[in-house]
């Protein structure tokens, strides 16, 4: 309850700041809308020539893009920009103030700032999956939606874990510019279902970089195409990476403490 109250206060403060910078809010909104509109147009062009891609129909693919929009919006809403700032805080010594806070340092460093504009991107994603469900006559059930939401949480855990581990390398290497490049590559492969990839790339996506795989599971769960084996495996590997990120954070903070003492 204590952390929920703290997070509520952080969200409230972020909303107040967003009201001051309204132009930035709408700029982010329009850029996000443009990006996902391009994705939909691209898919529409592809499906003019074929009925399905790797077993995904046109509207199932639209559903996936909507899911990607929702997860991406939640990711930007919470941890992304906070973790992006972490290497700079480490270099400047500003991270010291985080260690002095009477809260878990990883919680505060990951969620202290909220990107309010991303909420509209999430609404865009909800609109897309609703549109895809209606136009594509997709078989979506209440149970499927429930497990879909759970899978989205695990997809966020996977993305958070991978990026947190990368930026935590700043405790050891100081400069980690490659983290952003690597994250961009992961997102590039994740904006399409994992099912379209084969061979080595598919193995990497399923085992080492499971972010896109978890979103694939979420979408397939909602439209009743996932297997129990896939779903359970996704939850296990997401939990594994999240636990790994917690352990690596503690190790990294200890390294920082010894370096500053």
**Residue numbers of the domain that contains 224:** 2-260
Q: How many domains does the chain have?
A: 1
Query: 123 pLDDT band (50/70/90 cuts)?
Result: confident
Query: 30 pLDDT band (50/70/90 cuts)?
Result: confident
Vertex 222, ends 216 and 227: CA angle to 5°? 65
Query: 113 pLDDT band (50/70/90 cuts)?
Result: confident
Tell me the H-state helices in 21-141. Answer: 22-46, 58-77, 79-92, 96-100, 105-111, 118-135
Residue 261 confidence (pLDDT) above 60 = no
**Using CA atoms, how far apart are residues 56 and 147, in angstroms rounded to an integer?**
20
pLDDT of the residue at 37: 78
Percent of the chain at pLDDT above 70? 89
Cβ within 8 Å of residue 149, ≥6 positions away: none
pLDDT of the residue at 14: 66
pLDDT tens digits, residue range 142-161? 999 999 999 999 999 999 99
Average pLDDT over every residue of 185-211: 90
Q: At 166, is the secondary structure helix, strand, or coil?
A: helix
């Amino acid at each position: 309850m204590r952390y929920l109250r703290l997070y509520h206060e952080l969200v409230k403060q972020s909303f107040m700041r967003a009201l001051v910078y309204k132009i930035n809010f709408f700029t982010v909104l329009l850029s996000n809308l443009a990006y996902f509109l391009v994705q939909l147009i691209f898919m529409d062009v592809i499906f003019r020539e074929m009925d399905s891609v790797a077993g995904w129909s046109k509207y199932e693919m639209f559903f996936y893009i909507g899911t990607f929009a929702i997860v991406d919006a939640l990711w930007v809403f919470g941890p992304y920009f906070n973790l992006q700032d972490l290497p700079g805080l480490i270099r400047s010594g500003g991270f010291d103030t985080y260690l002095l806070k009477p809260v878990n340092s990883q919680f505060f460093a990951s969620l202290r700032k909220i990107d309010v504009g991303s909420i509209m991107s999430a609404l865009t994603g909800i609109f897309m999956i609703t549109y895809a469900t209606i136009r594509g006559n997709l078989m979506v059930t209440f149970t499927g939606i429930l497990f879909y939401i759970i899978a989205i949480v695990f997809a966020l855990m996977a993305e958070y874990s991978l990026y947190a581990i990368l930026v935590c390398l700043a405790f050891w290497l100081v400069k980690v510019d490659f983290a952003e490049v690597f994250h961009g590559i992961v997102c590039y492969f994740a904006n399409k279902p994992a099912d379209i990839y084969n061979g080595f790339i598919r193995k990497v996506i399923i085992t080492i970089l499971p972010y896109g795989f978890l979103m694939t599971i979420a979408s397939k769960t909602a439209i009743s195409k996932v297997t129990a084996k896939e779903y359970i495996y996704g939850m296990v590997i997401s939990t594994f990476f999240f636990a790994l990120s917690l352990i690596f954070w503690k190790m990294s903070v200890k390294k920082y403490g010894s370096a500053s003492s």
